[in-house]
C-alpha cells in the first residue's frame, strides 16, 4: 500500500486553480499539490501537456483510479463530488440545478471576467489599451452578477440551502470582482452570499494554497499587486 494520497492536484493561485482546493479542503480529502509556475511556463511543458492538452491549470490525477487524469476545473469538481459523494445533491433535480450553475460559471462568469481582467490588468499594461473590449467584458460580467444577485434572493447558496460545487466554482471569480473592476454595488444578495462564504473557514484555508487569494485579488495595495502580477504573467498567460 502506498502512503501517497489518491488525489494529485496540479494547480496555481488563480480563480480556476483554487476551485479544486476548495473542494478538497471542505471535504477534508488528503491530496498532494504540485504548484505549476507560470513564470517558468511549466503549464506549457511537454510533461504537463501530456496530462492537460490545453496547457492550463488545474489538472488532477486520481492515483486511486488507475491514475485517471481530469482537466477542466468544472470537470474536476464534478469528478470529486461524485467520488466523495459530497457537495452535490443526490436529488436528480437539485443535481441538475448544480450542473446548471456550474455551467453558468464555466461558460459565463469565468470567460467574461477572465477577459475583463486580461484586457485591463495584462494587455493594457503591455501597451494594448482596448477600451471597447474592456467595456464589453466588464459590462457582460456585471450583467451576469445581476443574474446571480436575482437568483440568490432568499437563498443561502446557489442551489437551495446547501453549499455545492457550483458555489465553489463561482466564488473565487465573483469575489475577485474588484480585480476586474466589475461593480457589485446595488447587488445585496450577491454581497450577502460573499459574506457567507467569506466566513467558511475551510474555503478560506483553501484560498491560501498554493499562494493566498487575498494578496493578489483582495482589496489591497493595487500597485504592489500589479508589480507582482507583471512578473507572474510575463508570458502571455490567459484566464477563463
Ligand X SMILES: N[C@@H](CCC(=O)N[C@@H](CS)C(=O)NCC(=O)O)C(=O)O
Question: Under the rule (CB under 6 A), what is the footprint of ligand X?
Answer: 14-17, 38, 43, 55-58, 72-74, 237-240
Q: Give the CA distances from residue 151 to residues 89, 148, 173, in Å, rounded to whole numbers and listed in that order.
A: 18, 5, 17
CB of 116 to ligand X, least distance (A): 13
**Of residues 112, 114, 200, the one with CA closest to residue 156:** 200
Instruction: List residues bridging with 60 in a β-sheet.
Output: 9, 70
Sole residue written with cell 474592456: 134
Beta carbon nearer to ligand X, 50 or 93: 50
Q: Which is nearer to ligand X, 40 or 227 (CB)?
A: 40
| 114 or 149: CB nearest ligand X | 114
CA dist 208 and 205 (Å) reads 5
Question: Minimum CB separation from ligand X for residue 149, in Å?
Answer: 23
**Closer residue to ligand X in complex, CB, 82/238:** 238
- Residue closest to 197 by CA, chosen among 13, 78, 26, 31: 26
| DSSP-based three-state secondary structure for 180 | helix
Q: Which is nearer to ligand X, 57 or 138 (CB)?
A: 57
DSSP state of 42: G
Q: How far is the CB of 106 from ligand X (least distance, A)?
A: 6
Burial of 41: CB neighbours in 10 Å, binned 0-12, 13-18, 19+: middle
**62 beta partners:** 7, 68
Q: Closest residue (Cβ) to ligand X? A: 56
Minimum CB separation of residue 152 from ligand X in Å reads: 22
Q: Which residue has the cell 443561502?
A: 156
In the complex, least distance from residue 16 CB atom to ligand X, rounded to whole angstroms? 4
The smaller minimum CB distance to ligand X, of residues 73 and 229, is found at: 73
* Closest distance to ligand X from the beta carbon of 161 (Å): 26
Amino acid at each position: 500500500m502506498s502512503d501517497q494520497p489518491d488525489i494529485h492536484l496540479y494547480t496555481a493561485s488563480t480563480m480556476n486553480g483554487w476551485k479544486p482546493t476548495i473542494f478538497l479542503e471542505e471535504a477534508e480529502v488528503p491530496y498532494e499539490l504540485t504548484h505549476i509556475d507560470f513564470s517558468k511556463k511549466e503549464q506549457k511543458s511537454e510533461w504537463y501537456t501530456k496530462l492537460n492538452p490545453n496547457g492550463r491549470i488545474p489538472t488532477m490525477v486520481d492515483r486511486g483510479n488507475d491514475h485517471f487524469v481530469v482537466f477542466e476545473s468544472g470537470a474536476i469538481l464534478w469528478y470529486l463530488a461524485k467520488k466523495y459523494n459530497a457537495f452535490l445533491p443526490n436529488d436528480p433535480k437539485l443535481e441538475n440545478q448544480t450542473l446548471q450553475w456550474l455551467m453558468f460559471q464555466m461558460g459565463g462568469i469565468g470567460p467574461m471576467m477572465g477577459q475583463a481582467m486580461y484586457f485591463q490588468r495584462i494587455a493594457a499594461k503591455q501597451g494594448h489599451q482596448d477600451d471597447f473590449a474592456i467595456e464589453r467584458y466588464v459590462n457582460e460580467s456585471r450583467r451576469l452578477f445581476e443574474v446571480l444577485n436575482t437568483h440568490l434572493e432568499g437563498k443561502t447558496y446557489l442551489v437551495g440551502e446547501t453549499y455545492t460545487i457550483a458555489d465553489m466554482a463561482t466564488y473565487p471569480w465573483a469575489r475577485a470582482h474588484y480585480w476586474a473592476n466589475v461593480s457589485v454595488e446595488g447587488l445585496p444578495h450577491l454581497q450577502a452570499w460573499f459574506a457567507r462564504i467569506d466566513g467558511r473557514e475551510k474555503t478560506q484555508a483553501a484560498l491560501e494554497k498554493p499562494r493566498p487569494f487575498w494578496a493578489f485579488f483582495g482589496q489591497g495595495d493595487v500597485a504592489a499587486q500589479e508589480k507582482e502580477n507583471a512578473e507572474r504573467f510575463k508570458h502571455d498567460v490567459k484566464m477563463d
